[in-house]
C-alpha cells in the first residue's frame, strides 16, 4: 500500500498569505496524484488532478507541482474561503489511498 | 450535471449488516469507463477509500475490508448498493460515494463529484 504523508498537519496563516502544503508518497506514483479541499460539513471537492492540473472552476491561485514521490499544493494568496482541510490522493496503485490531511486555519 | 446521493440507515447495531445506496444522475454505469467509488471518513479523521465499481462490473476493495464488502449496481435504476457486514463501532463514519470515468478526460478519472455523505453510527 502506498502511504501518503502530508505536512504540516496544521498551517496557521492570514488572508493574503501564501500557503505551501506538502504530500510525500512512500513510493513513486508518477503524476497520478490529486488534491481535494474539504470544508466543515461538506464533501471533498477536487482541486488539482494529475499533480498539476486545476480542476474545472478552480481559481488560478491554486497550483500543484511535483512528480514521483514529492508533491506540493500552493495557494498563492489565501482568500477567506480557502481555510479548509486539504487531502492528497493517489490512483497509481491499489488500494487507492489518501493522505491524513492538512488543515489551513486562520 | 452529475449528482450523487447516499441513502440508508444512520444507526446500526454492532454485528449487523449495513446497506447503503448511492443514487446518481448525469451519467450511466452502462457507459464504458464510468464508475462509482466509496470513501468513508470517521468523525474528525481522514478520508479512507474502500470500494470501487466499474461499468463492466469489475470491483476493487480495500484489503483491510475486503472480506466484509459487496458492491453491486442496478443500471436501470442508476444506483449502486454497498453492503458491509459485521459492523463495529470503529466503522462509525460519514460514507461518501463519488463518480469517476476512466475513459473520459483526465480530470474525470478522479473522484468528482461526491455525494453529500451519510453519517452512519454503530452503537448498541
CB-based contacts of B124: which residues, under 8 Å, 6+ apart? B13, B14
Contacts of B114 (CB under 8 A, 6+ apart): A43, A44, A45, B4, B39, B96, B97, B98
Q: Which of B94, B85, B1 is nearest to B39 (CA)?
A: B94
Residue A53 has pLDDT above 90, yes or no: yes
A68 in reach of chain B (CB within 8 A): no
Cβ contact, residue pair A95, B117, below 8 Å: no
B74 in contact with chain A, both atoms CB, cutoff 8 A: no
pLDDT class of B25 with cuts at 50, 70, 90: very high
Question: What is the interface size between A and B, counted as CB pairs within 8 Å?
Answer: 62
At B108 the pLDDT is 86
Q: Does A95 touch chain B (CB under 8 A)?
A: yes
The predicted pLDDT at position B124 comes to 95
A54 interfaces chain B, CB cutoff of 8 Å: no
For strand B18-25 and strand B79-84, is the pairing parallel, antiparallel, or unpaired?
antiparallel
Q: Residues B42-56: pLDDT tens digits? A: 999 999 999 999 999
Model pLDDT, residue B104: 79
- Nearest CA distance, B71 vs chain A (angstrom): 16
- Residue A106 pLDDT: 85
Query: pLDDT tens digit string along B90-124?
Result: 999 999 999 999 887 888 889 999 999 999 999 99
Q: Do B107 and A99 touch (CB under 8 A)?
A: no
Amino acid at each position: 500500500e502506498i502511504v501518503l504523508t502530508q505536512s504540516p498537519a496544521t498551517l496557521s496563516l492570514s488572508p493574503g498569505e501564501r500557503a505551501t502544503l506538502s504530500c510525500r508518497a512512500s513510493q513513486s506514483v508518477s503524476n497520478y496524484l490529486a488534491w481535494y479541499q474539504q470544508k466543515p460539513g461538506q464533501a471533498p471537492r477536487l482541486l488539482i488532478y494529475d499533480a498539476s492540473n486545476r480542476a474545472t472552476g478552480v481559481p488560478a491561485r491554486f497550483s500543484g507541482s511535483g512528480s514521483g514521490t514529492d508533491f506540493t499544493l500552493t495557494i498563492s494568496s489565501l482568500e477567506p474561503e480557502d481555510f479548509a482541510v486539504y487531502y492528497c490522493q493517489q490512483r497509481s496503485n491499489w488500494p487507492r489511498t489518501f493522505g491524513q490531511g492538512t488543515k489551513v486555519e486562520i | 450535471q452529475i449528482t450523487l446521493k447516499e441513502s440508508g440507515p444512520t444507526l446500526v447495531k454492532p454485528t449487523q449488516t449495513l446497506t447503503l445506496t448511492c443514487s446518481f444522475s448525469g451519467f450511466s454505469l452502462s457507459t464504458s469507463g464510468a464508475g462509482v467509488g466509496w470513501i468513508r471518513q470517521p468523525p474528525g479523521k481522514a478520508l479512507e477509500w474502500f470500494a470501487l465499481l466499474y461499468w463492466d462490473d469489475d470491483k476493487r476493495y480495500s484489503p483491510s475490508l475486503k472480506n466484509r464488502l459487496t458492491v453491486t449496481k442496478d443500471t436501470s435504476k442508476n444506483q449502486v448498493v454497498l453492503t458491509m457486514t459485521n459492523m463495529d463501532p470503529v466503522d462509525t463514519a460519514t460514507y461518501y460515494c463519488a463518480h469517476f470515468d476512466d475513459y473520459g478526460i483526465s480530470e474525470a478519472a478522479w473522484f468528482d463529484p461526491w455525494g453529500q455523505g451519510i453519517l452512519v453510527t454503530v452503537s448498541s
